[in-house]
A and B are shown apart, each in its own frame.
Chain A
Amino acid sequence: ETGVTQTPRHLVMGMTNKKSLKCEQHLGHNAMYWYKQSAKKPLELMFVYSLEERVENNSVPSRFSPECPNSSHLFLHLHTLQPEDSALYLCASSPAGAGYEQYFGPGTRLTVT
């Protein structure tokens, strides 16, 4: 599925760095999501944007800051991360509304040193 792209695919950053993850969808959807998959936990939802407004923040620490400038783009800004934040970060999109199928990007594998 190439409808959702993510860059970079791999990222290594120190704890004092600031970096951003980018997600772009070409499916005409208007809801976008960030998920986190770490070694010790199942896939978990981080943020939901619907019609460019944040509708859910799943108790994520403030060192993760999302941004959705339009319905096709989603960013995750990272600053002062901890080693335990190392994980695979997945972006998804769907039509806005209840119960639509979500499509995922290939993910960004983040390592915090």
Chain B
Amino acid sequence: GIQVEQSPPDLILQEGANSTLRCNFSDSVNNLQWFHQNPWGQLINLFYIPSGTKQNGRLSATTVATERYSLLYISSSQTTDSGVYFCAVDSGGGADGLTFGKGTHLIIQP
């Protein structure tokens, strides 16, 4: 099956800093999503981005499908950005499940 690798596994930053999270995947994809998991376990949809670039406020994402990677950018970090960020992909046809990376644990210190 498809492999998903996220880096870095852990990231500690000061409030106001910028960060880049990376997701590499081993095969072509129909779907790529970025999620933020809050402390209660809820997965919050950040981006649906199988290709191209999207922006939403301080967050943006880019997927280069031909090179099999995606990047999540967080600018002017706030303490509320802390948590685990997951990349997940779907490479099959029909209604397939997502394959998740192990996540990046982000801590934003005040």
Contact = CB atoms under 8 A, between A and B. Distances in A.
Interface of A: 1, 31, 33, 35, 37, 42-45, 48-50, 55-56, 58, 88, 90, 92, 94, 96-104, 106-107, 109
Interface of B: 29-31, 33, 35, 40-45, 48, 50, 86, 88, 90, 92-103
Determine the main DSSP class of A at the interface with B.
strand
B104 to A, nearest CB: 12
Given A106-B42, A107-B40, 6 more contacts: A45-B97, A45-B99, A56-B96, A97-B94, A100-B95, A106-B40
Contacts, number: 75
B105 to A, nearest CB: 12
23 contacts: A1-B45, A33-B98, A37-B41, A42-B101, A43-B86, A43-B88, A43-B100, A44-B100, A45-B98, A45-B99, A48-B96, A55-B95, A56-B96, A98-B30, A98-B31, A98-B92, A99-B29, A101-B48, A103-B45, A104-B43, A106-B42, A107-B41, A109-B41
